[in-house]
Structures are given as structure tokens and as C-alpha cells.
A = this chain, B = another copy of it.
Amino acid sequence: MPYELYYWDGIQGRGEFVRLALEDAGAKYIDKCRSSTGTQTMMEFLKGSHGHDQMPFAPPFLKDGELVISHVANILLYLGPRLGLLPDDEKNHLIANGLQLTITDFVAEVHDAHHPISTGDYYEDQKTEAKARSAAFIRDRIPKFLGYFERILSTNSTGDGFVIGNGLTYVDLSLFQVLEGLNYAFPKAMKAVEDDYPRLALLRDRVSKRPGIAAYLKSERRLPFSESGIFRHYPELDLNS
């Protein structure tokens, strides 16, 4: 039975971190909300129509048989060993999950760079505050997070170019997505620091060439980044704008 992925249609969003794992592994899955009735089905889960154990707070969630699994990091921790994207031992699970949760926090900050006051309001209504938050994000947060992952890559003595051990994990795929997104959203800021993170640049390039990922990126299933997603390109929020 194929996995069922539930996520808002029309954007990459947080669902993309799950898609990249499924696509890299060549797993069978249905992107439910890209069918005509999928969004309605998703809303039924969110409303609680399927009861306590199948009532996520928000998308994305993954359905595998009777299991309904919510939150990106939780979904990836479940899929990782099944898709060959995480060694199946406790220590590596703990390390991968800690790193993935750091990415989760980073992604939330990316979102809040354009929505610092209220998720429920338009960007245009919080533009001044978004400019201030984005400046701090570019100045303080990008170096803090990317610097950390660069150090993680450089101190991994067991594998050259991987975040954990000597093979690819879902954390590498998620880092690829973060780098793609940052380069889309903040091209000038990222250009200014492009020499600071050589191992991350190599990882990004290498992941893009993996057969499953390369095929996916060329397909219609890979939606473009846009100003409805998490990584948004508003030129006025970029460096020196």
C-alpha cells in the first residue's frame, strides 16, 4: 500500500521535506491534496472526524495503513529506517532527530522573517516589521544555523560529505531543501556568504545529482518556490535592499 502524504496543495511548504525523502528512495506515495477531493479528505482529519489517534494539529501528516503521523521530524524519523535513509540504531536515531529538529526551528524562523507579527495577516500588513526581522535573520540567524551545520559536516570523521555516518540520511535531504530555499528567498545575502560554507555547498550539489532527486526536480511534481510558501523572495527583505 502506498504512503499517503497530506499537505496543502499548490506549494512546496513543509511537505517538501517529506517528499524529498520519498522521492530519493523511490517509494510509492500519493500526494493526496493534488487530487480533486484530497483537500476535503485532509480537512476531515484535521477536524477530528477520524478520532483521537488520527487528528493532527496541522499538515503535513503521513498515513501508513492505520497510522497517522504528524510533524515533519516525526514523519522522517518513522520513514528513515524504512526508506534506507537512517541507520536503524538508537544512537543514530537520536542524533538525526536532534539535527532535524534544529532544521525545524530554522524553518520556523524563515517563515517568521516574512510573517513576524501574525500568521493570519498578510505580508503587506507587516512589511516594516518583516524588514527588521529579516535583517536580524540575515545578520544573526543564517550564520548561526549554517555555521553549525558546516561544523557538523566538518567534524564527521566517518563519512565525507554526509551529516551522519558514511551514507546519506534524510537530514542531508532536508539541508539541501533549506539551502535551495534560502538561495531563492535571499539571493544577495546568500551570495555574500557563499564561500563561508564549502561543505554545505558540496552537499547541496551532490544531493541535486542523486538519481531520485534529479528526476524529481525535473518533474512536474516539484512545484516552484513561490510567495505562498515558506521560502519567499521579497527583494526588499534581502541584503542591502
Q: Chain B residues near A67 (CB, 8 Å)?
A: 91, 94
Q: Chain B residues near A48 (CB, 8 Å)?
A: 151, 155
**In the assembled complex, how far is the CB of residue A189 from the closest CB belonging to chain B, in whole angstroms?**
16
Q: What separation, in Å, do the CA atoms of A71 and B101 have in the docked complex?
A: 7
B156 with A52: CB separation less than 8 A: yes
Q: Chain B residues near A116 (CB, 8 Å)?
A: 112, 116-117, 129, 133
Interface positions, chain A 110-153, Cβ under 8 Å from B, are 112, 116-121, 129, 132-133, 136, 140, 145, 148, 151-152
B56 with A98: CB separation less than 8 A: yes
Q: What separation, in Å, do the CA atoms of A67 and B156 have in the docked complex?
A: 16
- Take A55-B152, A112-B112 as given contacts and tell me if A74 and B91 are in contact as well, using a CB distance cutoff of 8 Å: no
A102 with B136: CB separation less than 8 A: no
B140 with A118: CB separation less than 8 A: yes
Within 8 Å of chain B (Cβ to Cβ): is A97?
yes
Within 8 Å of chain B (Cβ to Cβ): is A157?
yes
B52 with A71: CB separation less than 8 A: no
Q: Which of B71, B117, B151 contacts A97 (CB 8 A)?
A: B71
Within 8 Å of chain B (Cβ to Cβ): is A53?
yes
Q: Supply 8 A–B pairs (Cβ within 8 Å), ascending by A.
A: A48-B155, A52-B157, A56-B98, A58-B102, A70-B102, A71-B97, A71-B98, A105-B108
